[in-house]
């Protein structure tokens, strides 16, 4: 995941449909398929490549169709793996229940594939039909994170900065480490993001960000470890169960993402990550001059005291973010100058995650407290 905790997590969506296996091999298959779509031409049935024709330039839509087919094969794979498990159950009633669950999972999986296709097509309508092949030239990036030439005040990448967030069910701790990773020649800083439920670790991620000299911050990838605990565990100790959601610029042909622009305008839209089937977040800028009372829609479900603490000069940025992987989910994210992300609100449910502590800005001493409920 990116720097904020997930209000609706990718893992939770898959588990709700009964899928829990790693996507690693499928990700590679999807990436290979999309290379054929996004390359220099359109793939032919016989394996050759033709030059783009006048009617073959709807790259975003064609990519969506390729993903839809990949999704269908993935759900079929899940179904047959579930059947393989059911076959080995000796109890007749339990076996029948297992097969029924597998069939229902396939039905729901197909529904998810269709919903994802519809969501991705809506995103294509915003982004346009051009290929997604952003430049990732090391000459455009800074390499010394102690002396950045043009840091983004709305997404500070300062070594040692720490942000603590809390939502209704979970907490996050994010730290900018004194550590970098060289990715395709670009020096990316590492931000470690730990997410907890009921005080137990559920995700530990290293996010990699690259600072462009024009103020824009690239999202270069993330190394994800997902953890779970299970009934009967003694002692209760989170187990690493998957790396779902991880990706890296340049690996398997995955391009870089634009996490946040240096000088955005209202209406700008871009992908913050595009690893098909794994991470597909899209960002649009709703305001670059937000303060409480300036926009009734953006004020919805927003803690007034929190916004007035950071946005009294009406200089906060607000983005609206969604993903092709989670149909219907849409999050408004609020950014303050000098602090970065301080509030995320699920537009449909009103659930939020907000900054409760930081170690570098005096305003954080006045942050309101948040009550966290138990997840179970």
Residue that finishes a domain, picked among 68, 95, 127: 127
For β-strands 247-248 and 217-228, DSSP reports them as: antiparallel
In three-state secondary structure terms, 59 is helix
127-153 per-residue burial string, b: 16 or more CB within 10 A, e: under 16: beeebbeeebeeeebbbebeebeebbe
Query: Is there a single domain that holds both residue 199 and residue 110?
Result: no
Among candidate residues 264, 266, 267, 247, the one with its CA nearest the CA of residue 205 = 247
Residue 187 lies in a domain: yes
Rounded Cα distance between 113 and 125, Å, is 19
Residue that finishes a domain, picked among 127, 153, 174: 127
For β-strands 247-248 and 239-242, DSSP reports them as: unpaired
| Pick from 46-60, 72-86, 329-343: least confident | 46-60
Q: Can you give the pLDDT at residue 60? A: 97
Residue that finishes a domain, picked among 127, 152, 183: 127
Q: Quickly list DSSP for 82-116.
A: HHHHHHT--SHHHHHHHHHHHHHHHHHHHHHHHHH
Predicted confidence (pLDDT) per residue in 198-233, tens digit: 999 999 999 999 999 999 999 999 999 999 999 999
Residue 165 lies in a domain: yes
Residue 374 lies in a domain: no
Which residues does 13 contact at the CB level (< 8 Å), separation at least 6?
112, 325, 326
Query: Is there a single domain that holds both residue 257 and residue 310?
Result: yes
Mean pLDDT of the chain: 88
Query: Is there a single domain that holds both residue 44 and residue 156?
Result: no
Query: Is there a single domain that holds both residue 119 and residue 154?
Result: no
Whether 17 has a pLDDT exceeding 50, the answer reads no
Residue 357 lies in a domain: yes
Long-range contacts of 119-126 (CB under 8 A, 24+ apart): 119/322, 119/323, 119/324, 119/326, 119/327, 119/328, 120/63, 120/64, 120/67, 120/280, 120/324, 121/61, 121/64, 123/60, 123/282, 123/322, 123/324, 124/60, 124/61, 124/64, 126/269, 126/282, 126/284
CATH of the domain at 285: 2.40.360
Query: Is there a single domain that holds both residue 239 and residue 317?
Result: yes
Query: Is there a single domain that holds both residue 143 and residue 237?
Result: yes
Tracing tokens 């009934």 back to the chain, one arrives at 231
Q: Can you give the pLDDT at residue 6? A: 46
Q: Can you give the pLDDT at residue 59? A: 96
Residue 120 lies in a domain: yes
Predicted confidence (pLDDT) per residue in 101-119, tens digit: 999 999 999 999 999 999 9
- Asked if 117 and 70 count as a contact pair (C-beta separation under 8 A), the reply is no
Query: Is there a single domain that holds both residue 112 and residue 143?
Result: no
Average pLDDT over residues 2-17: 42
Q: Can you give the pLDDT at residue 2? A: 59
Query: Is there a single domain that holds both residue 159 and residue 228?
Result: yes
Predicted confidence (pLDDT) per residue in 18-33, tens digit: 333 333 444 444 444 4
Residue 371 lies in a domain: no
The secondary structure of residue 153, as a DSSP letter, is: T
Long-range contacts of 54-59 (CB under 8 A, 24+ apart): 57/129, 58/129, 59/129, 59/130, 59/131, 59/132
Q: Can you give the pLDDT at residue 373? A: 61
Whole-prediction pTM: 0.86
Whether 194 has a pLDDT exceeding 70, the answer reads yes
Residue 16 lies in a domain: no
- Asked if 373 and 198 count as a contact pair (C-beta separation under 8 A), the reply is no
Residue 133 lies in a domain: no
Query: Is there a single domain that holds both residue 69 and residue 201?
Result: no
Overall number of domains in the chain:
2
Angle CA 214–219–221, to nearest 5:
150
Rounded Cα distance between 301 and 349, Å, is 9
Query: Is there a single domain that holds both residue 89 and residue 161?
Result: no
| Pick from 47-51, 109-113, 237-241, 310-314: least confident | 47-51
- Asked if 219 and 257 count as a contact pair (C-beta separation under 8 A), the reply is yes
Query: Is there a single domain that holds both residue 162 and residue 72?
Result: no
Q: Can you give the pLDDT at residue 169? A: 81
Residue 285: band (very low, low, confident or very high) from pLDDT cuts 50, 70, 90: very high
Structural domain for 95, as ranges: 40-127
Whether 43 has a pLDDT exceeding 70, the answer reads no
Query: Is there a single domain that holds both residue 104 and residue 187?
Result: no
């Amino acid at each position: 995941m990116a720097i904020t905790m997930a209000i609706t997590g990718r893992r939770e969506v898959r588990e709700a449909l009964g899928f829990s296996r790693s996507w690693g091999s499928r990700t590679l298959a999807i990436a290979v398929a999309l290379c054929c779509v996004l390359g220099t031409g359109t793939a032919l049935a016989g394996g050759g490549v033709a030059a783009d024709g006048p009617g073959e330039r709807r790259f975003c839509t064609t990519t969506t169709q390729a993903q839809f087919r990949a999704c269908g094969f993935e759900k079929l794979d899940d179904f047959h793996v579930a059947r393989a498990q059911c076959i080995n159950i000796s109890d007749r009633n339990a076996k029948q229940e297992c097969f029924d669950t597998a069939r229902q999972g396939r039905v729901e999986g197909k529904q998810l594939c269709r919903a994802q296709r519809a969501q991705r097509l809506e995103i294509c309508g915003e982004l346009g039909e051009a290929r997604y092949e952003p430049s990732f030239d090391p000459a455009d990036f800074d390499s010394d994170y102690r002396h950045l030439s043009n840091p983004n005040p709305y997404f500070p990448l300062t070594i040692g900065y720490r942000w603590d967030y809390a939502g209704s069910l979970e907490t996050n701790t994010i730290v900018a480490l004194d550590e970098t990773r060289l990715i395709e020649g670009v020096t990316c800083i590492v931000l470690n993001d730990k997410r907890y439920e009921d005080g137990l670790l559920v995700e530990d991620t290293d996010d990699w960000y690259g600072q462009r000299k024009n103020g824009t911050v690239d999202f270069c990838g993330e190394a994800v470890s997902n953890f779970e605990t299970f009934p009967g565990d003694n002692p209760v100790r989170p187990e690493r169960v998957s790396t779902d959601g991880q990706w890296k610029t340049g690996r398997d042909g995955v391009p870089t993402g634009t996490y946040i622009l240096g000088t955005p305008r209202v209406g700008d839209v871009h992908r913050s990550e595009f690893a098909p089937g794994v991470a597909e977040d899209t960002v649009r800028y709703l305001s670059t001059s937000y303060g409480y009372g300036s926009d009734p829609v953006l004020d919805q479900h927003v803690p007034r005291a929190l916004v007035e603490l950071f946005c009294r000069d009406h200089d906060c940025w607000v983005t609206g973010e969604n993903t092709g992987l989670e149909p219907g989910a849409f999050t408004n994210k609020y950014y303050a100058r000098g602090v970065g992300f301080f509030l995320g609100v699920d537009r449909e449910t009103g659930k939020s995650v907000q900054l409760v502590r930081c170690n570098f800005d005096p305003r954080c001493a006045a942050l309101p407290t948040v009550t966290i409920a138990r997840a179970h």
